[in-house]
Structure 1
Amino acid sequence: MDNLTHSLVGAVLGQMGLKKKTGLAIPTLILAANLPDIDAACLAWLDGIQHLGFRRGITHGPIAMLVLPILLWAAMLAFDHWQARRGKRPAGRLPIDKRWLLALAYIGCLSHPALDWLNNYGIRLLEPFSSQWFYGDTIFIIDLWIWIALGLSVWLSLRRERGGATNWQRPAWVGFTAICVYIFANGLITGAAERTTATALAASGHRDALVVASPPPLAFWQRDIFWRTAERYGSGSFTPGVGGNLDISGLRAGMDDPRIEGWLMGDPDARAFLFWARMPVAQPDGDAILLRDQRFMHPLAQDRFQVRLTAPDTATRNQ
């Protein structure tokens, strides 16, 4: 998910009452909720499309989930001690409870891969032990409704707290519960869309098709459908209670082009792209091959998620 969503999750967890457990609780929760995205800071040395094969990997895996919270915990303790030595520690800040501060660092960090798994971009939850990608296909990567629900919950909770209400945590709990129900309901919609599509494809002879039901940006109750076999791919749509609209015949995926294997040897961008791609498509582009991914072939996104593969002696690409 985007970093605003991660930050709002950290804030709402604090407003649910966790911020009263220790000093520096809110900044720890928000920083921890974003910390696995530290891999984005490493992208400066990666050229072109290679960041696709690097993101959501090692800093989202089990070793990072063990180590990153401890590093953040140590940094927050050092910051508190530094402020105390300089006489700038806020008088109203709660004392630091080391055990609770570490627990909050873990809670915030673990919320990050849990949310990232929900969309269809992909996350390598087991890196470095396995490079397998995992996909939830449940929530769009930037969900406006989650922004609104979490933002409103935090604002109402803070307003009640500042007004002296004893139940100031309630709006945060309501917002958190609502988002959990929202995610669960979206999971049910995705499951129904994928089962319906798989049944229709099997009836038409595509029995081993991979089906991905992708939520659109705003109409969360709908699904964009992508399907593919080794040779063909197609798309469609699904709406609960209405049914699906599916292209059964499909188009040639083109990944059996014999040139691809040889040309990949000299093209790190293309190798990184295919490592990341879940539903790769190869399309002729003059003397080159345009590698794309079905999930991101919308005109507004396709330029960021494609690579032009050329013969080694004419290795130029447009992205």
Structure 2
Amino acid sequence: MDNLTHSLIGAALGQAGLKRKTGLAMPALIIAANLPDIDAPCVLYGVESLAMRRGITHGPIALVLLPLVLAGLLIAFDRWQARRGKRPEGRLPVHTGWLIALCYIGILTHPFFDWLNSYGIRLLEPFSHQWFYGDALFIVDPWILAMLGAGIWLSRRRERAGADQWRKPAKRALIGICAYVLLNMAITTGAFKGLRYDGPNVQVYNPVPIAFWRREVLWRDDGERYVIDRPEFFGAAQSSITDERHWSDYKDFGPTNMSDPRITEWSKSDPAAKAFLFWSRMPVAELHDDHIILRDQRFLGSPASGQFTVTLRKPNP
């Protein structure tokens, strides 16, 4: 998910009452909720960063060690302020156990919400390079942002007014998010059950922005053709060409071209292409005599498609 969503999740947990457990609880929750994204500067490497993102900093070793590092830094910061006489008077005493616990709570929300979209996450890195996908939420979900934003704002407003029940709006927002996530997981599961397909097709149920109840159905047939279907309702599509449904019924379809032997040969000397092929869940190729354009089916037609495109050229002899 986007970092604003991660930050609001941490803030909502704090406003639900966790911020009263120890000093620096709110910074711990918000920073920890974003902490796995310390791999973000790798985007400076361009397309090659696709092989680095959502990997080792999102895996089990990082999820164990990073909260301890963050808690240590926050404790050191608190003591540094105290020595300089600049520690805020209203700050609660820092409880080491609670601070570490909150760092773990915050950081564990990150891989869960990253897993929920179709971009994917390598949850077991460095022990396994396998990608995991939830296909349940769009990467920037306005409904989640609205619920979290409203819950935090109402909670803060009540707290400033001295109301006893100031935690309730944040708690309700978090309950609403849980219900919303479960609903979207059920929609994706319903899409799986509502579709018919023949053969070993790759299936992706791509969430779309705003219209959370809809899914783009991405699949391939045994003849190495790809299809992007946009049914009115998630259970109304079929994922195989039948007598009732033909290629002309689909707006976006075409050959994947991934069996072209030049792709394997040329990519050996192209780090960007190797990174792309490692990352891509559904690669498609546009073939030319002197170059090949690689794209990912999930992002065809998306404004962000340019970020996920590689031009593969024949190596110099």
Question: Which bracket does the TM-score occupy, shorter chain normalised?
Answer: over 0.9
Q: Which residue number in structure 1 is paired with residue 88 of structure 2?
A: 90
Give 1:243 deviation, angstroms.
2.0
Q: Which residue number in structure 2 is paired with residue 217 of structure 1?
A: 209
Q: 1:291 to 1:117 in 2, by over 3 A?
A: same
Give 1:242 deviation, angstroms.
7.1
Preserved CA contact (<8 Å) 1:237 1:246? no
Give 1:13 deviation, angstroms.
0.3
Q: Deviations over 1:270-299 (max 9, x none)?
A: 000000000011111342111111001114
Q: Given the alignment of the two structures, is residue 278 of structure 1 paired with residue 271 of structure 2, yes or no?
A: no
Q: 1:181 to 1:240 in 2, by over 3 A?
A: farther
Residue type at the aligned position of 1:236: D
Unaligned runs of 5+ residues in structure 1 are 315-319
SS at match of 1:123: coil
**Greater alpha carbon shift after TM alignment, 276-285 vs 117-126:** 276-285
Residue type at the aligned position of 1:222: R
Preserved CA contact (<8 Å) 1:221 1:239? no
Q: 1:241 to 1:85 in 2, by over 3 A?
A: closer
Q: Deviations over 1:12-70 (max 9, x none)?
A: 000110000000000110000001000012443x2x31011110000000000000000
Q: Deviations over 1:55-98 (max 9, x none)?
A: 00000000000000000000000000000000000101100110
Q: Deviations over 1:190-230 (max 9, x none)?
A: 11113323x1x22xxxx211111111111111111100246
Unaligned runs of 5+ residues in structure 2 are 242-246, 248-252
Aligned pairs for 1:38-53 (under 5 A) are 38-44=38-44, 46=45, 48-53=46-51
Q: Given the alignment of the two structures, is residue 257 of structure 1 paired with residue 255 of structure 2, yes or no?
A: no
Residue type at the aligned position of 1:269: A
CA RMSD of aligned residues (A): 1.6
Q: Distance in 1 between matches of 2:226 and 2:258?
A: 11
Q: Which residue number in structure 2 is paired with residue 312 of structure 1?
A: 315
Alignment counterpart, residue 72 of structure 2, candidates 51, 71, 74? 74
- Structure 1 length normalisation: TM-score? 0.92
Q: Given the alignment of the two structures, is residue 115 of structure 1 paired with residue 113 of structure 2, yes or no?
A: yes
Q: Distance in 2 between matches of 1:214 and 1:208?
A: 19
Aligned pairs for 1:1-319 (under 5 A) are 1-44=1-44, 46=45, 48-197=46-195, 199=196, 201-202=197-198, 207-229=199-221, 231-240=224-233, 243-244=236-237, 248=241, 249=247, 250-313=253-316
Preserved CA contact (<8 Å) 1:232 1:252? yes
Q: Percent identity?
A: 54
SS at match of 1:273: helix
Residue type at the aligned position of 2:32: A
Q: Deviations over 1:85-141 (max 9, x none)?
A: 000001011001100000000001111001100000010000000000000000000
SS at match of 2:170: helix
Preserved CA contact (<8 Å) 1:32 1:108? yes
Q: Distance in 2 between matches of 1:304 and 1:146?
A: 25
How many matched pairs?
306
